[in-house]
Structure 1
Amino acid sequence: MIESDYLKNNEELIEKMSKIPELGIFDDKDLHGLMKLSKIRKYEPGEIIIEEGCYDSWIYYLISGKVKVVKENEDIGIMQRTGDVFGEMGVIDGSARSASVYAVTESVCLATDTSYIDRLSGNNKVTFGYILYKLFAEILASRLRVANQELIKTKAKLTMVKLAKKLELTSEELIIARNEIDKLLCSGQEE
């Protein structure tokens, strides 16, 4: 991983960041504040960004590249959209990382150290806390909508499989019954 120092008043970077939809909720002043808590991190393919089971306070905004999410050695998702956010769940509840994230291609992320917010005072702490948790709520609501749609599709597929199995059994029962009738008819003709 190649990592920058904490970002300061880089107007060019702030302008680029403001175009990322997920960061659009921040005004310029808030983006300046966010940059002070952030670094640019560049990862090579296969390099780990977040390790499942570890604790840290960083959230990541994908700037470029492609990353995969892995839970218990199973690939569970790919992120490749500029602005995709990951690492927020452990920040919200302070729990260990629930999944690992690896760079699939060369990937560049804006990494934000949320532990710094605890060191802020007064309105700054409240403002940044509010903004980040609003962002987290929007991300999680979006992911919940997607998960609900996937659940509905999975339930529909399961219902179809159960129905197909019942039809298969019914079909087999009909074949057996027909064979029994044919046997009875044949034995009746022999008499």
Structure 2
Amino acid sequence: MRRVPASPKVSSWPSDTFVARLPTEARRTLLDLGTVRTYPAGHTLIRQGEPGSVVFVIVHGLVKVIASTEHGTESLLAVRVRGDVIGDMAVLDGSARSATVTTCGVTSARLLKGEVFLGYLRRHPSAALALSVLMGDRLRWANQRRLESTGYGSDVRLARLLLAVAARHGNRVPEGVDLGVPLTQVELGDLICAKESTVHKALRDLAERGLVLRVGHRRVVISDLPGLMAFADMDPLSPNNPPPKAY
């Protein structure tokens, strides 16, 4: 690990992340706390089952949240990007870590001791409120994936997942909207409760319909946003289905 000197500018924080939700003063205070460190790809920041005493605020890169069953089966639960906070749940309630968090590439994060983070929340009610809203968003995301697993086929579940990821992390590219997060077919399957072979077939079908482009091993581009939303049975006018901001 090595120290890095600075954090990204305020304007670079992705919307809907913890840092982006903070008022200016609370944001500046948070980004002055703790120490910024950089970690290599594949580094484990948090390990499931261990006690939680620190919180990480990602300032560059992205991480994956993975949970394991008692039998050793692993599932990808979420992806977190710059501006997101991780490790907060265990610090707030004193429980053990509920998942393992690993870096997907070189990642920088601001490391705060648990008591420092709790003190920050007490001094800044607006930050505590932002964290509460963020936790509600996480719960809605998880509930939505569970509902879709029983209410839709795997192809529609995949389409809805691609739209959800793009809405949060997507980047405009000449071909359409890049998801903004490198995910393998196995990881996409984890997020929609499907086998890799099922995801492979669903991606091939979506590509044949002209709705997505498969670019490389870990990259998917939405080439027809309205068409994919229609396929996913999502009303583009509904406030519950915001289109990717980058589109």
TM-score by length of 2: 0.50
One-letter amino acid matched to 2:141: V
Partners of 1:53 and 1:97 within 8 A in 2:
yes
Partners of 2:66 and 2:78 within 8 A in 1:
no
The residue aligned with 1:2 is 2
The residue aligned with 1:75 is 75
Partners of 1:34 and 1:112 within 8 A in 2:
no
Structure with the greater alpha carbon radius of gyration:
1
The residue aligned with 2:47 is 51
Counterpart CA distance in 2 for 1:35 and 1:81 is 16
Cα shift at 1:149 = 1.4
Gap regions ≥5 residues in structure 2 = 154-247
Counterpart CA distance in 1 for 2:43 and 2:59 is 16
After superposition, the Cα gap between the structure-2 partners of 1:138 and 1:44, relative to the gap in structure 1 and judged at 3 Å, is same
Higher relative contact order (CA 8 A, sep 6+): 1
Could you tell which deviates more after superposition, 93-102 or 105-114? 105-114
Kindly tell me the number of residue pairs found equivalent between the two proteins. Answer: 146
Cα shift at 1:57 = 3.1
Q: Helix, strand or coil for the counterpart of 2:25?
A: helix
Counterpart CA distance in 2 for 1:153 and 1:27 is 34
Could you tell which deviates more after superposition, 47-56 or 29-38? 29-38
Once the two structures are superposed, what CA deviation does each residue of 1:99-144 show, in whole Å capped at 9, x if it has no partner? 11111211111223331256x5xxx77323x244323212111111
After superposition, the Cα gap between the structure-2 partners of 1:115 and 1:80, relative to the gap in structure 1 and judged at 3 Å, is closer
Cα shift at 1:78 = 4.7
Cα shift at 1:97 = 0.8
Counterpart CA distance in 1 for 2:80 and 2:136 is 19
The residue aligned with 2:163 is none
Q: Among 21, 24, 27, which residue is 2:20 paired with? A: 24
Counterpart CA distance in 2 for 1:110 and 1:17 is 15
Q: How does 1:5-154 map to 2 (within 5 A)?
A: 13=7, 16-17=9-10, 19-20=12-13, 21=15, 22-72=18-68, 74-79=74-79, 81-116=81-116, 126-128=122-124, 130-154=125-149
One-letter amino acid matched to 1:116: V
Gap regions ≥5 residues in structure 1 = 159-191
After superposition, the Cα gap between the structure-2 partners of 1:26 and 1:126, relative to the gap in structure 1 and judged at 3 Å, is same
TM-score by length of 1: 0.62
Cα shift at 1:18 = 6.3
Counterpart CA distance in 2 for 1:125 and 1:146 is 24
Counterpart CA distance in 2 for 1:18 and 1:86 is 21
After superposition, the Cα gap between the structure-2 partners of 1:68 and 1:26, relative to the gap in structure 1 and judged at 3 Å, is closer
Q: CA RMSD in A?
A: 2.9
One-letter amino acid matched to 1:84: D
Percent identity over the alignment?
A: 25
